[in-house]
Amino acid sequence: MFEIRIHSRGGQGGVTAAKLIAQAAFHDGKCATAFPFYGAERRGAPVVSFVRISDEPIKVYSQVRNPDMVVVLDASVMDATDVFAGLKEGGAVVINTTEPPSIKGHPVHAVDLTGIALRVNLVVAGSPILNTPVLGSLARIGLISKDAALKAIAETFADPRNVEAAKTAYEETKQ
């Protein structure tokens, strides 16, 4: 079983990102569950959501404590939250940033999701959309297939800029 924890801020679509990853994994023929940790919902506050991917049906409903991978949609949450807490040895980190940090013992995949969203004008109510392009990054590092990622996005959002941004993120994610 592969476990992922996603860090974002309320309103940035981390919960939807988790759902999309599960949907893509499902298209790849895997079993997957996605769920948010619901606290008191507050826009802008640090939030986490979880994805589990497995070849077998998943029976675990409790939160992910020792993720195999951490995804950070908003690097500013790192000031308030220890996003690496419990991360398994050698576990990968995917960060939306232009200044990739160096984390000892963990491969860091940096990508400027915010810049990509702004370039393709994927902006809603003044906020760049990060949860669809991040699927391109996750496809690039092999978590899900590229076809499944684009399919999951296309069946969830009608706006083609979501797929476009994911394709761009796929190209620009550092392996």
Partner 1 sequence: MLTTATGNKAVAAAAKEARPGVVAAYPITPQTEIVEQLANYVADGSLDADYIPVESEHSAMAACIGASAAGVRTFTATSSHGLLYMHEMLHWAAGARTPVVMANVNRALGPGWNTWAEHTDAFSQRDTGWLQVFVSTVQEAYDATLMAFRIAEDERVILPVMVNLDGFSLSHITQSLETVEVGDFIPQFHLSHAIDTEHPRGYGTMTGPDIYYRFRWDIERSMRASREVIAETEAEFARRFGRVYGPVEEYRSEDADVVIVALGTLGKEAEVAVDSLRDDGVKAGSMRLRWFRPFPRLDLSGREVVVIDRDYSFGFGGVIAQSIRATTRAEPCSVIAGLGGQEVTYDDIARFVREREAGKETWFGVSD
Q: At what angle do helices 161-172 and 146-156 cross, to 10 degrees?
A: 150
**Binding of partner 1 at residue 18 (CB under 8 A)?**
yes
Q: Are 32 and 147 in contact (CB under 8 A)?
A: no
The residue within the footprint of partner 1, chosen from 2, 11, 28, 31 (CB under 8 A), is 31
Quote the tokens at residue 138.
């996750």
For tokens 């994610």, name the residue.
173
The residue within the footprint of partner 1, chosen from 7, 19, 140, 167 (CB under 8 A), is 19
Q: 41 vs 171, which CB is nearer to partner 1?
A: 41
Q: 57 vs 126, which CB is nearer to partner 1?
A: 57
Residue 50, beta-bridge partner list: 5, 35
Applying the rule CB under 8 A, the residues between 32 and 71 that interact with partner 1 are 32-36, 38, 57-63, 65
Q: 31 vs 103, which CB is nearer to partner 1?
A: 31
The residue within the footprint of partner 1, chosen from 4, 6, 17, 22 (CB under 8 A), is 22
Quote the tokens at residue 93.
């980190």
Q: Label residue 148 exposed, middle or buried (CB < 10 Å: 0-12, 13-18, 19+).
A: buried
**Binding of partner 1 at residue 10 (CB under 8 A)?**
no
- SS3 state of residue 171: helix
Task: Give residues in contact with partner 1 (CB under 8 A).
Answer: 18-19, 22-23, 26, 31-36, 38, 57-63, 65
